[in-house]
Chain A
Amino acid sequence: MRPGRRRLRAIGQYVVVVAGAVVLNFALPRLAPGSPVDYLVPPQAGTISAEERVELLERYGLDEPLPQQFLTYVGGLVQGDLGVSVRDGRPVADVITERIGWSLLLVGGAVAASAALGTALGFVAAWRRGRAGDVAALIAVLVVDALPAFFVGLLLLLVFSVRLDLFPLYGALPAVGVGGLQLVVEVGRRLVLPLATLTLTGLASIFVVARSALLSELDEDYVFMARAKGLDERAVRGHAQRNALIPISTATFLGFSTLVGAATVVETVFSYPGLGTLAFQSVLSRDYPMLQAVFLVLALVAIAANLVNDLIYPRLDPRVRAS
């Protein structure tokens, strides 16, 4: 396929995925049991009268035909209008902008840390294939992976915050205003535990990919040749590991999506003020417009990670580079 057509096709796929997420978001309240109005009323308002119901339907345009509603919805999205929170009446978009930075900091950090750690462990295991170190690493990673993220979070909180009092219990920012370097330190202290939890969650999948990628590279002829041409062990490893990085990079970017999901529970455990905690609070307070917006934004983050992977892949592997 010509490079131009291939690029067009890739763009088409992303358009389809984004459209899918938008359509799903539009459809959910309308497919759900009951009237869509039920999802716009704060629970503390109690039952509403028939007149109020009609008035709400009109206000949100829910009495119009579906295609019209969809166009209105998409039009709003394009202008950054994600609706209004039913909990406190604030524009959803404002709340999201306030929070998304913390989520990106946490998830981005965890993706980077788990990729680095998982790759290092996976490489060490592969170089010791079949020996005690390999089996031990494998079992350790399987066990860590089996622990649910929120359980790991609760345990870390218990040990390091409650017992050892090393880190604050919750939040991302100190209560009293501090500035400069002090602020960075305080933010860092509050980031450590959620970051560690999320990193452990993402570790296993990278480890497995790194280990098997390097094992299959080690069987390649060019590794034998690197040794035969007189390179030292370090340089030989360099050859094999450089090639193993290709699948690891893909696994890392695709793992973004998993960690975005896991961040919801991890943020909740540590009351970290990102989108995950926002989703949790929205569930508790039945703030459906907010929940929908969180979902849409997180979906876009995951899609963006896929896109970055597609852009980086040809840089790592000259075989798919357009000539």
Chain B
Amino acid sequence: MSLAAEVVEPRSGERARRLSGTARALGIAGVALLGVVVLAALGASVLAQHPPERIVAAPFLRPSGQHWLGTDDIGRDLFAQLVHGARVSLSVGLGAAVLALGAGTAVALVAGYRGGWWDMVLMRLVDLTLTLPLLVLVLVLTAFLGRGLAVSTVLIASVLWARPARLLRSQVLKVRRFGHVVAAEAMGASALRVSLTHVLARLVPLLSSQLVRAATVAVVVQAGIAFLGLGDPDRVSWGTMLFFANASNAVLTEAWKWWVLPPGLALAALVLGLALAGYAVEEWAEPRLARNAPHRSRRRRRPVEEPRPQAAGTALEIRSLRVRFGGTRPVEAVGGVDLTVRRGRILGLAGESGSGKSTLALAVMGLVPEAGRITEGEIMFGGRDLRRIGRANQARVRGRELALVPQSAMNALNPVRTVLAQVEEAARLTCPPAEARRRAGDLLERVGIDPRRHEAFPHHFSGGMRQRVLIAMALANEPRLIIADEPVTGLDVVNQVVVMELLESLVGELDLDLVVISHELPLLARWADDLAIMYAGRVVERGPVERLVREPQHPYTRLLFSSFPDLEGPRGQVGTVPGEPPDPARLPAGCAFEPRCPCALPRCATERPELDGAEGTCSAACWLAGDVSVRTLFVDPAGVADGDPG
């Protein structure tokens, strides 16, 4: 998953086949253009007063009431040729596209189903056809095999089938792996039957977009061939008109207005209509292509009031921070968070996915995605409020004073640059080039990467090794604070310990402060000094680790602890608390945990409890906090609440 995706789209279901505004507008324009051409083709006999292929007047006539666009070099009516030309283009375009798609589908099904030699031979044929220059190939075929309209259509189709065949084949191979297709085959349905009913149905979107594309190419190729003098001599097309216009040097005279422009524009209208319609069809066929403009938040206004100075002995002080995401479903991902990182102590930030912990980290880094913005609060770091220093200065803080070790180390490195180059690039922000290179090498070595592998690319490294590279990158400019967002998620247990030990030793060695974000509470309980538990965008409990582990006050913290059983404990789903987290777009008025809370009181549904107490002491946002009766009221579904939660 992308680093930012989780916070941008809290819950994205399957996107419906609905067109974006741009695609719809373009599609309508395309259909309108096509409509004009189709009308001209249908009404050609009515619209034109003369037959298009017969000599009806003197050559080279200027436009007149008799001949609206004048006559050509042998005295044929140009207007008649124009409207009848629509028929030629449309029939060749449609005919060739249908033939090509039919052949392409057949090839794709045979290659996809037979596999082996069939696949080999057919795909080499596809390669051959796709490699040869299309227009020249059709030109040669036409020269030898005939230039009649029907022959032309077949010849054009005979070079156009290859692209759809290749695309459809890979689709066939994909569809064949779908559950219901596998099931149908397992139940003994014949390959042909399965192809027709299950596979073809799935190919419809791709087929339709490829049909439009093939028609577009067919129209252009037919016009090109006709322009080169190989059009059907008995059926005047737009390409033929331009061939004669060019041969008669129409551009050198006034005649370009009625001889060159009309057929050229007609061709352009048809091709543009097909292309625009194709754009819409393609988006319909592949909804992932729909890219709405990101919701852009209004210019962020800096707070006017001077903030209270940062408390002594703190590395980072977050005060009542709120982050909102706009759009159709506004979401407050971070809803008033107060959080302090004390100098020399590791803060662990825990919570389920979607609880806002990653958004909080992004907000501190000044990297809230475009769709969101910080609406309130202060981020005190190094004696100033990061929200007030402006975007440019925020960027200067990143990497230099405040570094991030991101989630999903697998993709956080640029695949085409060596790891050394990427660490060096970071170090260059504060070091001269030669120094930066040496420093990058030292850092990579420090995190345990063999110098012989410094010039290797990210794909040569395992996930754990890439995570180390990212840690080296974070250290490149000797930052004061590192935020590690799920630094060991996805690593095996051994690597988890190694990476966490590395982080811990670096904190001691380099006098850094560290925030570790994780959904794994036991991990944090082991490595952190202070803990903060987030739920639905708020910190619901915080305090020194020993206190929190010994006597968690908030029912959510208790459930979270008990969801990670000891080795001897009963087995259950690890790391999950019964029930669903609330919909971030519609948070309850009272305590957000109330719907899932096993010991909720009536007032919990209406009144929201707040955190109280000074930093460094324990505090829980719960009406039952400090109440001894919590323990007796507590109903633990897993039945382990009375055991040692640590």
Contacts and interface: CB of A to CB of B under 8 A. Distances in A.
Q: Do A and B come from one complex?
A: yes
Interface of A: 13, 16-17, 20-21, 28-29, 31-33, 39, 129-131, 135, 138-139, 142-143, 145-151, 154-155, 157-158, 162, 169, 215, 219-222, 224-232, 235, 239, 242-243, 246, 257-258, 260-262, 264-265, 268-269, 279-280, 283-284, 288, 291-292, 294-295, 298-299, 301-303, 306, 316-319, 323
Interface in B410-434: 411-417, 425-426, 429
A140 to B, nearest CB: 12
A323 B460 contact: yes
B242 interface: yes
Contacts, number: 240
Closest 8 CB pairs of A and B: A230-B399, A130-B293, A261-B135, A146-B272, A151-B264, A221-B411, A20-B128, A32-B144
Given A257-B134, A295-B137, A135 B411 contact: no
B304 to A, nearest CB: 28
A3 to B, nearest CB: 15
A40 to B, nearest CB: 13
Contacts of A303: 131
Nearest to A307: B131
A232 B224 CA distance: 48
A154 B248 CA distance: 13
17 contacts: A16-B128, A146-B272, A148-B223, A151-B268, A158-B251, A221-B412, A229-B399, A232-B395, A264-B136, A265-B224, A268-B246, A280-B229, A283-B230, A295-B139, A298-B136, A299-B131, A302-B132
Interface of B: 2-5, 22, 26, 124-125, 127-128, 130-137, 139-141, 143-146, 220, 223-224, 227-230, 242, 245-246, 251-252, 256, 260, 264, 267-269, 271-272, 275-276, 279, 291-294, 365, 367, 395-400, 403-404, 406, 408, 411-417, 425-426, 429, 457, 459-460, 470, 473-474, 476-477
B271 A148 contact: yes
Contact of B224 (A142, A150, A316): A150
A31 B293 CA distance: 55
A231 B425 contact: yes
A294 B606 CA distance: 83
B139 A264 contact: yes
Contacts of A150: 223-224, 227, 242, 246
A162 B144 contact: no
Given A31-B144, A291-B143, A317-B416, A130 B294 contact: yes
Contacts of B4: 224
A150 B243 CA distance: 10
A291 B272 CA distance: 32
A166 B140 CA distance: 35
Contact of B144 (A39, A219, A224, A260): A39
Contacts of B132: 21, 257, 299, 302
Contact of B416 (A232, A242, A260): A242
A17 B131 contact: yes
A129 B275 contact: no
A149 B134 contact: no
B132 to A, nearest CB: 5
B271 to A, nearest CB: 4
Given A13-B124, A142-B275, A280-B229, A269 B140 contact: no
Most chain A CB within 10 A, of B124, B133, B145, B411, is at: B133
A132 to B, nearest CB: 10
Given A21-B132, A142-B276, A129 B293 contact: yes
B367 A228 contact: yes
Most chain B CB within 10 A, of A148, A284, A292, A299, is at: A148
Nearest to B410: A221
B406 A148 contact: no
Nearest to B267: A148
Contacts of B127: 13, 16-17
Contacts of B2: 219-221, 224
A3 B363 CA distance: 47
A283 B291 contact: no
A220 B476 CA distance: 22
A12 to B, nearest CB: 9
A97 B578 CA distance: 79
A288 B143 contact: yes
A89 B269 CA distance: 44
B264 A295 contact: no
A222 B131 contact: no
A38 to B, nearest CB: 10
Contacts of A129: 291, 293-294
A130 B415 CA distance: 27
Contacts of A158: 251, 256, 260
A154 B257 CA distance: 12
Contacts of B275: 142, 145-146
Contacts of A157: 251
A62 to B, nearest CB: 15
A28 B140 CA distance: 8
B330 to A, nearest CB: 19
A219 B369 CA distance: 11
Contact of A279 (B146, B228, B279, B426): B228
A292 B140 contact: yes
B145 to A, nearest CB: 6
A163 B521 CA distance: 78
A221 B143 contact: no
Contacts of B246: 150, 154, 268-269
Contacts of B293: 129-131
Contacts of B267: 147-148, 151
Contacts of A39: 144
A283 B139 contact: yes
Given A220-B2, A222-B412, 5 more contacts: A145-B271, A148-B268, A154-B260, A221-B406, A265-B227
Contacts of A130: 22, 291-294
Given A154-B264, A318-B416, A228 B398 contact: yes
Contact of A228 (B143, B292, B404): B404
A135 B25 CA distance: 11
A138 B398 CA distance: 35
Contacts of A302: 131-133
Contacts of B417: 239, 242
B136 A295 contact: yes
A162 B252 CA distance: 6
Nearest to A159: B251
A233 to B, nearest CB: 8
A220 B411 contact: yes
A148 B224 contact: yes
A75 B474 CA distance: 65
B406 A295 contact: no
Given A148-B268, A151-B264, A221-B412, A288 B144 contact: yes
A280 B243 CA distance: 11
A228 B146 CA distance: 63
Given A155-B264, A230-B398, A283-B228, A306 B131 contact: yes
B367 A318 contact: no
Contact of A32 (B145, B260, B271, B399): B145
Contact of A225 (B412, B429, B476): B412
Nearest to B253: A162
B454 to A, nearest CB: 14
Most chain A CB within 10 A, of B143, B146, B256, is at: B143
Contacts of B128: 16-17, 20-21
Contacts of B134: 257-258, 261
Nearest to A208: B279
A148 B414 contact: no
B395 A230 contact: yes
Given A151-B267, A298-B136, A227 B416 contact: no
Contacts of A227: 367, 398
A148 B220 contact: yes
A262 B4 CA distance: 44
Contacts of B470: 225
Contacts of A149: 224
